[in-house]
Amino acid sequence: MMTLSRWKIIAVVLAVIFGVLFSLPNLLPQQTLASMPGFFPRQQLNLGLDLQGGSHLLLEVDTEALRAERLVNTLEDTRVTLNGEGIAFTELRQLNGEITLRVTDPARRDDAARVLRTSLGTALAGTPGGRDITVRNDGPSGIRIAFVQEAMNAEAAKAVEQSIEIIRRRIDELGTREPTIIRQGVDRIVVQAPGESDPERLKNVIGQTAKLTFQMVDESADMAAAAEGRAPPGSEVLPSEDGMSPFIVVRRRALVSGEMLTDASQGFDSQTGEAVVNFRFNSIGARRFGEATAQNIGQRFAIVLDGKVISAPVIRGAITGGSGQISGSFTPQTANDLAVLLRAGALPAPLTVEEQRTVGAELGADAVRAGQISTTIGFITILVFMVFAYGGLFGGISVIALLVNALMIIAIMSVTQATLTLPGIAGLILTLAVAVDANVLIYERMRDEIRAGRNAIAAMDAGFSKAMSSIIDANVTTILAALIMFQFGSGPVRGFAWTLSIGVLTSVFTAVLVTQVLLALWFRAKRPKTLPIV
Amino acid sequence: MWPLIKILPAMTNFRFVAFAKYAGVASVVAALASIFLALYPLTPPCGGLNCGIDFKGGTLLEISTAPRAVDLSRVRSELGALELGDVQVQAFGAPSSALVRFQTPEGESSEQAIEEVKAALNSALGEVVFAKTEVVGPKVSGELFQNGLLALGFAIALMLIYIWFRFELQFGIGAVVGLLHDVVLTFGLIALLDLEFSLTSIAAILTIIGYSMNDTVVVFDRLRENLRKFKRMPLAEVIDLTINETLSRTIITGLTTILALGALAIFGGPTLFGFSIIMIFGVVIGTYSSIYVAAPIILLWGVKRGEEEAEPLPVRT
């Protein structure tokens, strides 16, 4: 064990070079680092959001709302389709996620089913002839329309994918520095935005569905009934923010919707000077909007954003140019945010913020400072204690091993860009404290062997070989605990587990190999008869 | 005098096992008291523990009115008027900082509640910096709680399997009883000191499990070796010998760890303070349990000692 084989020395020297080289970027100022030659490593420790400041958001895509919306739309399509075919029906309603209706003339029931089968739903990918809905007979005159589960699941999965894409576009437009957007589980999205951006604004921009539609106002509706939330078939009561009335009854059928926009930007109204959102339709949107406005001069249409009426202007003439403006009670910033949302597109389903963790940059800097101070003091305390306990030689050797250990941990964390969190700093200092354990085990074993009557070299040899099984067992248990934290923990806790695991691996290396090489060198130089620790 | 190791007696001869009965009674009493403190009152999900928003859901704000001190009673009365659920206000680190926790009222979004609180505090205290905002929804807090408990369970089970695999079942049981003892007592401490029980506390407890196991393994390793070496020595004496042999290592490693954690508790800022306190307690209790819980359990249970049983009794003639 104590023989100084060449590979041991090479391994130790390489480890020291690696540790110094790759932990150095953390100590150099940014300018010096930039002027270093190309081969020089540049990666610094990757600080977690709790240390550099920033926001972590866990969002959930409300796929239930997606289903509910699909159901409402299909119900409406059913009504329009059957009316178009001239088939009379009653009791059209939704029930447990299905749609049921009764055809008035049972003789026409099969016609109705055939028409619905071809006009509703879309073809199913992967199954030739399959559609995403099923239309079945229910009793002598009833029809039951159900959704195929796989199709709904695929749609939900697609909605999550789309949401990620749209969130990315929105955040990019805000100019946030290097956001991370990843999918988690089936219907969750994690957004991590470093920097000191305003979390509430970030949440508003990400979380708003931004579904924009233009719908005709139903002037014929009974306002008393509407006040109680009842609207004529084909219409709906929506809350209004136009400042005129608290609610407005609008036709369910949208004239034009947000997908048909090609551009949106913030501007000011030329007459009133208010902040507005200017927009432009694509060719289909422009044609539809032109036709609708030409047919309905003198009537009002409603601009609906996420189920709320922003404004309901009167149509004074056909708008054929394909562009227009939305006015409402906007500030320049809210108008700009809405323009960003409209450009990036609507979310396919609502998002809910399930978890938010925001740390201000200043608090993060405080935490880094406290971490540096406590780590330095803790580290020095350990070093002093080891020299105090085992003397200049053995204590000093373990101090060198510990320094190499610390360098290697910082180097590995920098190279792998593992996230260092505040609990991770605690993990770091704990690792250094426990790293001493391997040294202590070896030294104590040597003392035992001297007591048992062995000479210096035999005691040192036995010290290493007999302590090994304890060292391995003890460190495997720590690794197991860290693995579990990694599996079950989130964010900062994972950072802690990661730091702990790296630390355990490097400490076994340094405590065993670095100590061994240094002791062997000492032994070769001095040929001592006894060890200075007994 | 120097190095220190020279004044530690080369071989101690404490009769640890003789005190095992008293220690056992003390441990059982402490464990029962801890369970009571952690569970009572029996309100789900946290009982007697001061659950953070990680496990209970809700919003946490860290506010700072530097350089002025925060008027905590003013904050309490302002927030009390907002009719939020379960408002907690506490000093945090410097006098100019405080933590505010509250539950989102039924039928309101967390964004709305935060806006209300921010507006109320800004008007009552003047310029307020919101240094930290954390919101955990009810779904996520439930999952975090479940995962936290699962993690503790898995950690203990994994340790049992590892020790069983490396040693024998009796050793595994001794180690696991020791671990349970440490975990239960740590929960008791968290409840007693009213420390916040959060994801970080779970990380601290998992680390304690790692450390305590580490300590136990070192003792067991030597115990196994001594059981092979001294086949005829009574088990109680082998255990005493083992603990005495590993004592200096136990003390030195424990001391360095506590010194490092002490630096963390004093200089690491308020966020790491609770974490460090839990860890220091865990190191002390983990060291105690290796000596007085894990090893005596083996004594209680007995252990197979190689060929010793098969050895024929000396034939009298």
Tens digit of each residue's pLDDT (9 = 90 or more) over A248-292: 899 888 888 888 888 888 888 888 888 888 888 888 888 888 888
Q: Are B155 and A480 in contact (CB under 8 A)?
A: yes
* Contacts with A532 from chain B: Cβ below 8 Å: 3
Closest CA to A420 of A103, A122, A50, A66: A50
Higher-pLDDT residue of A132 and B315 is A132
B96 pLDDT above the threshold of 70: yes
Complete DSSP assignment for B190-228:
HHHTT-EESHHHHHHHHHHHHHHHHHHHHHHHHHHHHHH
User: Searching chain A, which residue's CA lies closest to the CA of residue B175?
Assistant: A477
Q: Do A423 and B275 touch (CB under 8 A)?
A: yes
**Looking at chain A, which residue has its C-alpha nearest residue B57?**
A355
pLDDT of residue B190: 93
Q: Which of B129, B207, B255 sits opposite A481 (nearest CB)?
A: B207
B 244-283 near A (Cβ less than 8 A): 245-246, 248-249, 252-253, 255-257, 259-264, 266-269, 271-272, 275-276, 279
What is the arithmetic mean of pLDDT over A313-332?
Answer: 83
Q: Please report which helix (H) or strand (E) contains residue A137, including its range.
A: strand A133-138
Contact B203 A473 (CB under 8 A): no
Contacts of A377 in chain B (CB under 8 A): 263, 266-267
Q: Give the mean pLDDT of A38-55.
A: 85
- Looking at residue A34, its pLDDT comes to 80
pLDDT value at position B184? 95
- Residue A397: per-residue pLDDT: 93
Q: Which of B4, B245, B257 sits opposite A388 (nearest CB)?
A: B4
Convert the pLDDT of each residue in A325-357 to its tens digit. 888 778 888 888 888 888 888 888 888 888 998
Containing H/E element for B145?
Answer: helix B138-166
Q: Does A361 touch chain B (CB under 8 A)?
A: no
Contact B6/A at CB under 8 A: yes
d(CA A391, CA B67): 47
Residues of chain A positioned with their CB less than 8 A from the CB of B154:
484, 487-488
Report the chain B residue with the minimal C-alpha distance to residue A396.
Answer: B3
- B252: which chain A residues are within 8 Å (Cβ-Cβ)? 389, 436, 440, 444
Give the best residue of B171, B272, B275, B287 to mutate against chain A (max A CB count within 10 A): B272
Nearest CA in chain B to A55: B133
Give the model confidence (pLDDT) of A60-76 as tens digits: 998 888 888 888 888 88
Mean pLDDT (chain A, rounded): 85
Which B-chain residues 64-93 have CB contacts (< 8 A) with chain A? none
Sign of CA dihedral B294, B295, B298, B303: positive
Winning range, highest mean pLDDT, from A85-89, A251-255, B261-265 = B261-265
> How far is B300 from chain A, CA to nearest CA, in Å?
24
Q: Does the CB of A533 have a partner CB in chain B at under 8 Å?
A: yes
| Interchain proximity B221–A473, CB inside 8 Å | yes
Max CA separation in chain A (angstroms): 112
pLDDT band at A452 (very low <50, low <70, confident <90, very high): confident
- Taking the Cβ of residue A303 and every Cβ of chain B, the question of whether any pair is shorter than 8 Å is answered with no
Give residue B300's pLDDT band: very low, low, confident or very high (50, 70, 90): confident
Q: Number of A:B CB contacts under 8 A?
A: 234
Buried b (16+ CB within 10 A) or exposed e, B279-298: bbbbbebbbbbbbbbbbbbb
**Mutation target among B162, B271, B275 for the A interface, most CBs of A within 10 A:** B271
Is a pLDDT exceeding 60 seen at residue B314?
no
- In angstroms, the CA A371 to CA A379 distance is 12
- Min Cα–Cα distance to chain A from B259, Å: 7
Q: Indicate yes or no: CB of A200 within 8 angstroms of CB of B276.
A: no
What residues of chain B lie within 8 A of the CB of A482, using their CB? 210
| Mean pLDDT (whole number) for A118-136 | 73
Chain B residues 102-121 within an 8 A CB cutoff of chain A: 110-111, 114-115
Angle between helices A109-119 and A63-85 (to 10 degrees): 130
CA angle A42, A43, A46 (to 5 degrees): 155
Give tens-digit pLDDT for A475-533.
888 888 888 888 877 666 787 888 888 998 999 889 888 999 999 999 888 888 888 87
Secondary structure E strands in chain B: 50-51, 58-64, 85-91, 97-103, 129-136, 196-197
CA distance A381 to chain B (A): 7
* CB of A198 less than 8 A from some CB of B: no
**Chain B within 8 Å of A475 (Cβ-Cβ)?**
yes
Please list every residue in chain B whose beta carbon sits closer than 8 Å to the beta carbon of residue A440: 249, 252-253, 256
Cβ contacts (< 8 Å) between B147 and chain A: which residues? 488-489
Task: Report DSSP letters for B146-167, one per residue.
Answer: HHHHHHHHHHHHHHHHHHHHHS
Interface test with B, best of A208, A430, A471 (most B CBs within 10 A): A430
Label residue A210 left, alpha or beta by phi (over 0 means left) and psi (-120 to 50 means alpha): left
CB contact under 8 Å between B151 and A485, yes or no, is yes
Q: Tokens 């603990």 sit at which residue?
A: B243
Query: What residues in A contact B259, CB-CB < 8 Å?
Result: 378, 381-382, 385, 433
| Per-residue confidence (pLDDT) for residue A491, from 0 to 100 | 66
Q: Is the predicted pLDDT of residue A121 greater than 80, yes or no? A: no
A294: left (phi over 0), alpha (psi -120 to 50) or beta: alpha
- Provide the β-strand partners of residue B159: none
Give Dmax over CA atoms of chain B in angstroms.
100
Question: What's the pLDDT at A410?
Answer: 92
Phi, psi angle pair for A183, to nearest 5°: -85, 145
- How many other C-beta atoms lie within 10 A of the C-beta of residue A144? 16
Rounded CA-CA distance A283/A322 in Å is 8
Nearest neighbour of B259 by CB, restricted to A354, A381, A497: A381
Q: CB distance B257–A430 less than 8 Å?
A: yes
**Residue of chain A nearest B118, judged by CA positions:** A200
Query: To probe the interface with A, which of B150, B219, B256 has the most A CB atoms within 10 Å?
Result: B256
What are the residues whose beta carbons fall under 8 Å from the beta carbon of B222, sequence distance 6 or more?
Answer: A470, B242, B245, B246
User: Which of A50, A144, A139, A54 is CA-nearest to residue A97?
Assistant: A144
* Residue B87: pLDDT over 90: no
For residue A416, what are its two tokens? 């792998």
Q: Is the confidence at residue A112, as pLDDT, over 70?
A: yes
Residues of chain A with Cβ-Cβ distance to B136 below 8 Å are 354-356
Closest CB to B206 among A357, A378, A485: A485
Q: What is the DSSP letter of B10?
A: S
Can you give the pLDDT at residue A347?
86
Contact residues, chain B, for A430 at CB < 8 Å: 207, 257, 260-261, 279
pLDDT of residue B308 exceeding 60, the answer is no
Closest approach of A491 to chain B, Cα-based (Å): 10
Helix (H, G, I), strand (E, B) or coil at A432: helix
Mutate to test the interface with A, among B223, B253, B290 (most CBs of A within 10 A): B253
Better-predicted residue by pLDDT, B241 or A486: B241
The yes-or-no verdict on residue B31 having pLDDT over 90 is yes
